[in-house]
C-alpha cells in the first residue's frame, strides 16, 4: 500500500524555523519526484516546491513566496522527504502536504501555525 506520512508541524513564532518530514512507503521513493503543497485555512491548494529524483539530477524548485526561505531535501536511504522552513511568516500558516505525481499519492497533511 502506498503511503505518505507527514510530521513536524506545530506552532512557531514569526521569524522562527520548523522542519517537516514525510516518510514514504509502498513505492520506489528514490525514483520519485516529490512535491510539497500547502493549504491555508479556508483557502485553495498552493504548490510550494519540488525535488527531483537523484537520477534526474536531484534539483529543487520553489514557489516565489517561499524561495530563499524554504529548502527541500531527501534521504533516499530512509525514504524520507524534508521541508526546512526558515524566516517563517504568518502567511505561511497552512496544512502542508507531501505528494508525488508518480503514484498519485498524498499524505494526510501536517498543520503549521505561525503566530506570536
Partner 1 sequence: QAVVTQEPSLTVSPGGTVTLTCGSSTGAVTSGHYPYWFQQKPGQAPTTLIYDINKKHSWTPARFSGSLLGGKAALTLSGAQPEDEAEYYCLLSYSGARPVFGGGTKLTVL
Residue 32 in grid coordinates: 520519485
Q: Which of 83, 109, 112, 114 binds partner 1 (CB under 8 A)?
A: 109
Choices 15-23, 24-32, 45-53, 82-90 (CB under 8 A): range interacting with partner 1: 45-53
Report if residue 40 touches partner 1, rule: CB under 8 A: no
| Distance of alpha carbon 27 from alpha carbon 17, whole angstroms | 30
Distance (Å) of CA 58 to CA 30, 61, 79: 10, 10, 14
Residue 16 Cβ, how far from partner 1 at the closest point, in Å?
25
Q: Which of 52, 84, 106, 111 binds partner 1 (CB under 8 A)?
A: 106
* Residue 54, Ramachandran bin (φ over 0: left; ψ between -120 and 50: alpha; else beta): alpha
Q: Which of residues 55-94 bind partner 1 (CB under 8 A)?
A: 61-64
* Residue 81, Ramachandran bin (φ over 0: left; ψ between -120 and 50: alpha; else beta): beta
Q: Kindly list the residues in this chain that would bind partner 1 in the complex (CB under 8 A).
A: 37, 44-47, 50, 61-64, 97, 99, 101, 104-109
Amino acid at each position: 500500500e502506498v503511503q505518505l506520512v507527514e510530521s513536524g508541524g506545530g506552532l512557531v513564532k514569526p521569524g522562527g524555523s520548523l522542519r517537516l518530514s514525510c516518510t514514504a512507503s509502498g513505492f520506489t521513493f528514490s525514483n520519485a519526484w516529490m512535491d510539497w503543497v500547502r493549504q491555508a485555512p479556508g483557502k485553495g491548494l498552493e504548490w510550494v516546491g519540488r525535488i527531483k529524483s537523484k537520477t534526474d539530477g536531484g534539483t529543487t524548485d520553489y514557489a516565489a513566496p517561499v524561495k530563499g526561505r524554504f529548502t527541500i531535501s531527501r534521504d533516499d536511504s530512509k525514504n524520507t522527504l524534508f521541508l526546512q522552513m526558515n524566516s517563517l511568516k504568518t502567511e505561511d500558516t497552512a496544512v502542508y502536504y507531501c505528494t508525488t505525481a508518480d503514484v498519485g499519492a498524498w499524505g494526510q497533511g501536517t498543520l503549521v501555525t505561525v503566530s506570536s
